[in-house]
Structure 1
Amino acid sequence: MASMKDVHLFRRYLSIFLSLFQSLFSCFFDFPILIKIADSFLSLYFLVFCDLRPVTVDLDDGETTVHFWISGHRRISRPNLVMLHGYGGNSKWQFVHQVSDLSRSFNLFIPDLLFFGKSYSRNPDRSVEIQARSVAGGLKKLGCCCVEGVGGGRVSVYSISYGGFVAYGMAEMWPEMVEKLVIVSSGVGFTQKQKTAEMKKHGGDCSKILVPKTPMDLRLLIKISMNTGLTFVHWVPDFILSQFISVMYEKNRQELLELAKNLLEREEEPELTVISQKTLIVWGDKDKVFPLEHAYRLQRHLESSRLEIIKETGHAVNIEAPTTLNNLITSFVLS
Structure 2
Amino acid sequence: MGSCLSVTVARDRCYTRAFRAAGLRATDVTLGDGATVHIWVPRLPDRSRPALVLLHGFGATATWQWAPYLGPLLRAGFDLYVPDLLFFGGSSAPGPDRSESYQARCVVGALDAVGVGRFGLVGVSYGGFVGYRVAALYPGAVERVVLICAGVCLEERDLAAGLFVVSDVADAAGILLPQRPEKLRQLVRLTFCRPPRVMPTCFIRDYIQVMCRDYVKEKTELLHALIHDRKLPDLPRITQPTLIIWGEQDRVFPLELAHRLKRYLDENCQMVVIKNAGHAVNLEKPKEVCKHILAFFLDSGSPDIYNGHMVNLLSVLM
Among 288, 292, 300, the residue aligned to 2:251: 288
Give the letter aligned to residue 274 of structure 1: R
- Select the residue among 20, 23, 30 that pairs with 1:58: 30
Cα separation, partners in 2 of 1:249 and 1:38, compared to 1, 3 Å? same
- Give the match for residue 84 of structure 2: 112
Q: Deviations for 1:233-290, whole angstroms, at most 9, x for unmatched residues?
A: x2x3222211211222212111111111221223335342211100011111111111
Aligned length: 295
TM-score by length of structure 1 reads 0.83
Is 2:113 the partner of 1:141? yes
Aligned to 2:278: 314
1:263 aligns with 2:226: yes
Matching residue within 174, 196, 213 for 1:230: 196
CA distance in 2 between partners of 1:156 and 1:193 (Å): 32
Name the % identity. Answer: 37
Q: For structure 1, which runs of at least 5 residues remain unmatched after alignment? A: 1-25, 146-153
Instruction: Please state how far the C-alpha of 1:30 moved relative to its aligned partner.
Output: 5.6
Contact kept in structure 2, 1:225 and 1:287, CA below 8 Å: yes
Partners of 2:279 and 2:92 in 1: how far apart? Answer: 27
The Cα of 1:334 is off from its aligned counterpart by: 2.7
Task: Please identify runs of 4+ aligned residues in structure 1 that moved more than 6 A.
Answer: none
Q: Once superposed, what is the RMSD of the aligned Cα atoms?
A: 1.8
Please give the secondary structure, in 1, of the residue aligned with 2:233: coil
| Contact 2:165–2:252 (Cα < 8 Å) also in 1 | no
8 Å contact from structure 2 (residues 99, 226) kept in 1: yes
Residue identity opposite 2:57 in structure 1 = G
Correspondence 1:61-100 to 2 at 5 A: 61=33, 63-100=34-71
Contact 1:31–1:243 (8 Å) recurs in 2: no
SS at match of 1:96: helix
Q: Which amino acid in structure 1 is aligned with residue 182 of structure 2?
A: M
Name the residue aligned to 1:159: 123
Q: Please name the residue that 1:297 is paired with.
A: 260
Amino acid at match of 2:100: V
Return 5+ residue gaps in structure 2 as ranges. Answer: 300-318
1:9 aligns with none
What is the identity, as a one-letter code, of the residue corresponding to 1:117?
G
Q: Distance in 1 between matches of 2:254 and 2:230?
A: 20
| Compared CA separation, residues 81 and 246, structure 1 to 2 (3 A) | same
TM-score (norm. length: structure 2): 0.88
- How far the C-alpha of 1:55 sits from its partner, in A, is 1.2
2:288 is equivalent to residue 324 of structure 1: yes
Distance 1:324 1:200, change over 3 A: closer
Whether 1:241 aligns to 2:204 is yes
Q: For the pair shown, which has the larger CA radius of gyration, 1 or 2?
A: 1
1:293 counterpart letter in structure 2 = E
Kept in 1, the 8 Å contact 2:155–2:227? The answer is no
1:199-255: CA deviations, max 9, x gaps? 762464111111110111111111111101133xx2x32222112112222121111
**Matched residues in 2 for 1:248 and 1:30: separation?**
12
Query: Are 1:36 and 2:9 an aligned pair?
Result: yes
Q: 1:183 deviation in Å?
A: 0.6
**CA distances 1:70-126 after superposition (whole Å, capped 9, x unpaired):** 222333342111011111121211122212221222111111000000001101111
